[in-house]
Amino acid sequence: MKIIKKAQDLKNILLSVKKSNKSIGLVLTMGNIHKGHLSLIEEAKANNRFVLVTIFINPTQFNNQKDYNSYPKTLENDVKKLQSLSFDLLYLPEVNDIYPKGLIKKKSVTKYRNILCDKFRPGHFDGVTTVVDIFFNIVKPNNSYFGEKDFQQVKFINELVKIKNHKINIIECASIRDHLGMSLSSRNSKLNKSQLEIFKKLANKIEKLIDLIKQKNTKIKLEDFKKDLSKININKIDYFEIRDEENLEVSDDCSVSRLFIALYIDKIRIIDNFKLY
């Protein structure tokens, strides 16, 4: 695995890769690498002759400076974990390389708005689609890999590809889950011991809820379940909803739906989604 930081080095390497007609698989990350990222890279390796991974903590997708500053930065460890995978290239750009004209974000996608994370993190997806568009224009990969943990994000990226006419296949990869059944996430690494206890209780409750929903379809009162979460010290819930996984509309047909959740354990935001079929 070669590591580069300079935009010019990336350009030179991509030029020679393209000359040799190798297919390029791109995995974009913000670091704090976990098994979820590693599975995306494995998938990219299995289906491309050249695999490029990036680590770039994108400032424009955070809702405030504090959240950006406190995002886990674990570069040394990340490199160690990535080295064991032996893919081709790791690119670590600086903010100026990606945003030479300043931290401007564009609103290009209009679908899937004012629901789920877009409702509670206004502007977040504009930051995501802006940075993904920048990387797509620089790299022009054949395939790019994203995890279903960020389900709405993948919807936005698919829309971006349509709108900007990128000739890139977006490969959606299933979440990698921990032994509790929750999706792995970089933010979860910030949970301390007592917060982890709450997380475990949450996982347990969700598992039971999903079993119940599957048995009784959606005739389950999610409002009661949400109220109940205060008993385990979860007091801030952005959303807890069942939505159609195709169009993200609220649905009562479990055969096509997922349970989407975003809530806080203290100040740590947990997001996840669970298939109901």
Q: Which is nearer to ligand PAF, 33 or 242 (CB)?
A: 33
Considering Cα of 251, then 252, then 254, then 260, what sign does the dihedral take? positive
* Interface with ligand PAF (CB under 6 A), residue from 17, 25, 29, 254: 29
**Stretch of 26-34, 66-74, 91-99, 247-255 lying at the interface with ligand PAF (CB under 6 A):** 26-34
* Interface with ligand PAF (CB under 6 A), residue from 26, 131, 261, 268: 131
Q: Are 43 and 176 a contacting pair, CB within 8 Å?
A: no
Q: Are 202 and 234 a contacting pair, CB within 8 Å?
A: yes
> Looking at 34, 37, 124, 166, which residue is catalytic?
37
Cβ-in-10-Å burial (0-12, 13-18, 19+) of 190 comes to middle
Q: Which is nearer to ligand PAF, 206 or 271 (CB)?
A: 271
Counting contacts by CB under 6 A, is residue 150 touching ligand PAF? yes
Closest separation in Å from C-beta 26 to ligand PAF: 10
Q: Which is nearer to ligand PAF, 31 or 251 (CB)?
A: 31
* CA gap 174, 33 in Å, rounded: 16
* CA gap 40, 47 in Å, rounded: 11
The strand order across the sheet containing 236-244 reads 236-244, 257-265, 268-275
Q: Which is nearer to ligand PAF, 29 or 39 (CB)?
A: 29
Question: Is-catalytic flag, 37?
Answer: yes
Alpha helices in 217-250, H assignment, sequence order: 222-228
* Interface with ligand PAF (CB under 6 A), residue from 24, 26, 28, 139: 28
Q: Which residues bind ligand PAF (CB under 6 A)?
A: 28-30, 58, 61, 128, 131-132, 150, 153
